[in-house]
Structure 1
Amino acid sequence: MVTLDVKTLTVPVGIVRILEVIFTCITFSLVASVGHTTVSFWTWCMFTWCFCFCVTFLILLLEFTGLHTKLPISWSDFTTAFAMLATLMVLAASVIYPVFFTCSSCGRPIGATVTSILAFILYAVEVGLTRAKPGEISGFLSTVPGLLKVLEAFVACIIFICLGNNKFNLPGLQWCIAVYSICFIFAFLIIIFTICRLLALFPAPFDKVLTCCNVLAVLMYMTAVVIWPFYSLHNFPRPSHCPNFCFWDNLVVISFMTCFNLVAYIVDTFYSIRLVFFVSRT
């Protein structure tokens, strides 16, 4: 039986989600009214705003009707992970769209950029509202290490997008791609296992498995931070007639994202070691 819960729409998190739905809807409506293009960046931005709008609206609907309690998943982990993912996706769209598709006299694209930035702020606020507070019992993805796992997976996706369909035959670059893939798969599995409440299937204590994998990821990313820029930028110099954003710029973005993910894994490892060797003992 469906029971309507109006309180879910009046609490701070509910109000923030309603505003997210409004601003993402306004954003993709403004962008669609300007016209359609086949540029991949435009497609990515439109997908981001439409995806975030649909999932946020679905979350509101499920909580309003109480149907979320009947789903065989960890609802708090799912909503927090999505809020973190939406924050990162909308942030990327808020940067990409104005860089490539706005001008000083373009009213609707500028308006779409403003509403997109507002949507990003709202999703960041939601992450702050749903994140686990010190001493609070909650799911793994509501904690800092859980949010970092979403961040690590998202950055890896950006790296894969920049790789595109290009073939890299150098062994050093192939090793880096293997590093990105292995670490992404682990982070993605952690997210899925947590949301689906399958962490009990791990053959060893989850916190120790997490710590070992994070340490291994740090070591692997440390090699990629050195190897990728050395082999890619050295063997693929920037073309003399390179447009505003070309293949060589993708290599630079990958180098930057590799460094960014290394920092994320180092912070993640710090939290994991603290959880295993300090918090668990106390």
Structure 2
Amino acid sequence: MCGPFKSCPGILRLLEIIFSALSLLIVIFRGRMVSPWGVWCEFVWVFCIIVPLVLTVVEAKMWHILLAVFLPNWADLTCGLTVLCAAMITSATLIFAAVFICLSCISSILCFIFSVVAAVVFLVDTVMQKMKCPSGYLSSPRGVLRTAEAFTACIILTAATDHFVNGEWFFRPFGMMCSIIVFAVCLLVTVVIIVLNLLKLLQCLLSFGLNMMELVFNIAAVLLYLLAVILWLVFGYKRSGYNPYIKCSYTDLNTVSIGAIVNLVFYIVDLVLSFKSR
């Protein structure tokens, strides 16, 4: 090993890139993925290639020192991104196994094996970085909650998309569309808040405090998510009998319902922490 791959963290990142790339390549050569769940898996593998690659290059070139003005806590960022990659690739591995694997699908089984190995490597990398106890936003309870909210919202939106793709083309109840808009908007704002907390200089552009912004958003998110959950449950399960793909319909409906309830709990906890931090 040479260059940035001399150390144990460097070797782990190299393995993350290799096994994520192998998973992606097998799927690409197998054929185009049209299922939203397949697209999610492909996105995750690409993300898990890019993140360790970029982190390795930045650290090898010592660019993170130059970025200290914008990103004052590089260790926290790398740890947070590694944790996110571990969660994402674990979800992609489980989803791929549940949706695409069959006993005669050799390529899918190989893809699953490589993805499992990549997930294990990311988990090992996560544990090693957590043992160093990095301090910063992404390592704090608020940062972990925000990351969990964004990740859960991605799963929710993927399941909702799969539900409509596999269902009747005219099955688009207004209430369910409103729920999806709520999930998407809250995801967007959550990502913006994470970025603002990481890039301290951007906070100067705000005419009000970031804590106040988070408090207002958390209140709105709790109310909107509560409304979205009710609308999704009422309109989704009321019309699910009209969907010819009953199994897929209920699977995706349940995934969105459970995910939305979980995210609602996350936002409630985040709201409580917002009040405590004032």
Mark yes or no: TM-score above 0.5: yes
Instruction: Quote the Cα distance in structure 2 between the aligned partners of 1:119 and 1:242.
Output: 33
1:150 to 140, 147, 151: 147
Superposition deviation, residue 48 in structure 1 = 2.0
Alpha carbon RMSD of aligned pairs, Å? 3.2
TM-score by length of 1: 0.77
The superposition leaves residues 32-77 of structure 1 with CA deviations (integer Å, 9 ceiling, x where unpaired) of 45x2134323343233213311331121122112123234642445
Higher helix share: 2
- Checking the alignment, whether the CA contact within 8 Å between 2:40 and 2:158 is kept in structure 1 is no
Query: SS where residue 248 of structure 2 aligns?
Result: coil
- Checking the alignment, whether the CA contact within 8 Å between 2:240 and 2:246 is kept in structure 1 is no
**Corresponding residue number in structure 2 for 1:225:** 229
Instruction: Quote the Cα distance in structure 2 between the aligned partners of 1:131 and 1:273.
Output: 27
- When the two structures are aligned, how many residues end up with a matched partner? 265
Instruction: Quote the Cα distance in structure 2 between the aligned partners of 1:18 and 1:109.
Output: 23
- Checking the alignment, whether the CA contact within 8 Å between 2:93 and 2:115 is kept in structure 1 is yes
Instruction: Name the CA shift for 1:244/1:178 in 2 (closer, same or farther; >3 Å).
Output: closer
Identity, % of aligned positions: 28
Instruction: Name the CA shift for 1:174/1:96 in 2 (closer, same or farther; >3 Å).
Output: closer
Superposition deviation, residue 207 in structure 1 = 3.1
Pairwise mapping of residues 97-112 of structure 1 onto structure 2 (< 5 A)?
A: 97-112=96-111
Instruction: Name the CA shift for 1:266/1:115 in 2 (closer, same or farther; >3 Å).
Output: farther
Given residue 265 of structure 2, which amino acid in structure 1 is its aligned partner? V
Instruction: Quote the Cα distance in structure 2 between the aligned partners of 1:269 and 1:132.
Output: 29
Instruction: Quote the Cα distance in structure 1 between the aligned partners of 2:233 and 2:6.
Output: 50
**Corresponding residue number in structure 2 for 1:50:** 46
1:237 to 241, 246, 263: 241
Superposition deviation, residue 238 in structure 1 = 5.1
**Corresponding residue number in structure 2 for 1:36:** 31
Instruction: Quote the Cα distance in structure 2 between the aligned partners of 1:131 and 1:211.
Output: 28
- Checking the alignment, whether the CA contact within 8 Å between 1:81 and 1:142 is kept in structure 2 is yes
Instruction: Name the CA shift for 1:205/1:82 in 2 (closer, same or farther; >3 Å).
Output: same
Pairwise mapping of residues 191-202 of structure 1 onto structure 2 (< 5 A)?
A: 191-197=194-200, 198-202=202-206
Question: Quick check: 1:182 aligned with 2:185?
Answer: yes
1:253 to 233, 252, 255: 255
The superposition leaves residues 96-125 of structure 1 with CA deviations (integer Å, 9 ceiling, x where unpaired) of 222232223444432321331232233344
TM-score by length of 2: 0.78
Question: Quick check: 1:267 aligned with 2:269?
Answer: yes
- Checking the alignment, whether the CA contact within 8 Å between 1:30 and 1:112 is kept in structure 2 is yes
**Corresponding residue number in structure 2 for 1:280:** none
Superposition deviation, residue 259 in structure 1 = 1.0
**Corresponding residue number in structure 1 for 2:136:** 139
